[in-house]
Structure 1
Amino acid sequence: MQWLGARQVVISENIANADTPDYKSKDVGAFDAMMEGNERSNGLRVTKPNHIQGAPKSNIGIEADTGPWEQSLDGNTVSLEQQTIKAAEVSEGYKLAASLYRKGHDLLTLAVTGIR
């Protein structure tokens, strides 16, 4: 869900800059690449017990879009059609993830209570 959220932010920034000269469209790194470098950690290493632990670092990287469909005369590489398709992909990803979480919760509830 965090990866989808980051991708939606990048897509909205691309759309907002669709008329900005020399703006290069961006995208979030591949989900697989994010998961490969994702190690379970509890945040920053604490050297003394009274130190406050920080939040774990995210491995979601924003990079230049590798396949923009077009480039305008002013150097802008944002294609609104391409960004709309990416936004629809993110929406479908959210629906799928939410459905999976809901089903998992339903199964856990059934296991604990025995009530459907």
Structure 2
Amino acid sequence: MAISFDKALGVHQYTLGIRAARAEVISSNIANADTPHYKAKDLDFDKALQAATSAQGGLAMTRSNEKHFDLKALSQEHVSYRIPNQPDTGDGNTVDVQQEKSAFMQNALEYQMSLGFLDSKFSGLKKAIRGS
């Protein structure tokens, strides 16, 4: 009997990749905190997850296998400019470093949580295969 990883791993296989892509976007904001006219961006996690898990996929692109998905295309599709909480400092930059650090830390914790869920799923699969 074949194991369906989509059913066995659930949504956690997608959340891990999306959180990694969001970490890249947030770290780009932090790196460009002093760049004039740079606009802070963020990845819409809910929309990206919905696109990754939908039956239609939302990821119509060239693939070598129908079960593969491309996180780069997924992440860029759902990246948008963040609405600033405070006015810019006069140089057009909308990055709030404290907000970005907070978002990065929360995302890192959620990434670790997703890793923990996947670890427990794989542990369960290993026990089922071994029969112990």
TM range (shorter): 0.7 to 0.9
Q: Is the 8 A contact 1:23 1:75 kept in 2?
A: yes
1:32 paired with 2:40, answer: no
Q: Is the 8 A contact 2:26 2:100 kept in 1?
A: yes
The answer for the alignment partner of 1:9 in structure 2 is: 24
Instruction: Provide the TM-score with structure 2 as the length reference.
Output: 0.68
Q: Is the 8 A contact 1:34 1:59 kept in 2?
A: yes
CA deviation after TM superposition for structure 1 residue 107, in Å: 0.8
Deviates more, 1:6-15 or 1:32-41: 32-41
Segments of structure 2 that go 5 or more residues without pairing to the other structure are 1-15
1:106 paired with 2:120, answer: no
Q: How many residues align?
A: 106
Segments of structure 1 that go 5 or more residues without pairing to the other structure are 46-52
Instruction: Provide the TM-score with structure 1 as the length reference.
Output: 0.77
* 1:69 alignment partner AA: N
Query: Between the two proteins, what is the percent identity of the paired residues?
Result: 29
1:22 paired with 2:37, answer: yes
CA separation in 1, counterparts of 2:96 and 2:61? Answer: 38
Q: Deviations over 1:7-33 (max 9, x none)?
A: 1111111111111111111111x2221
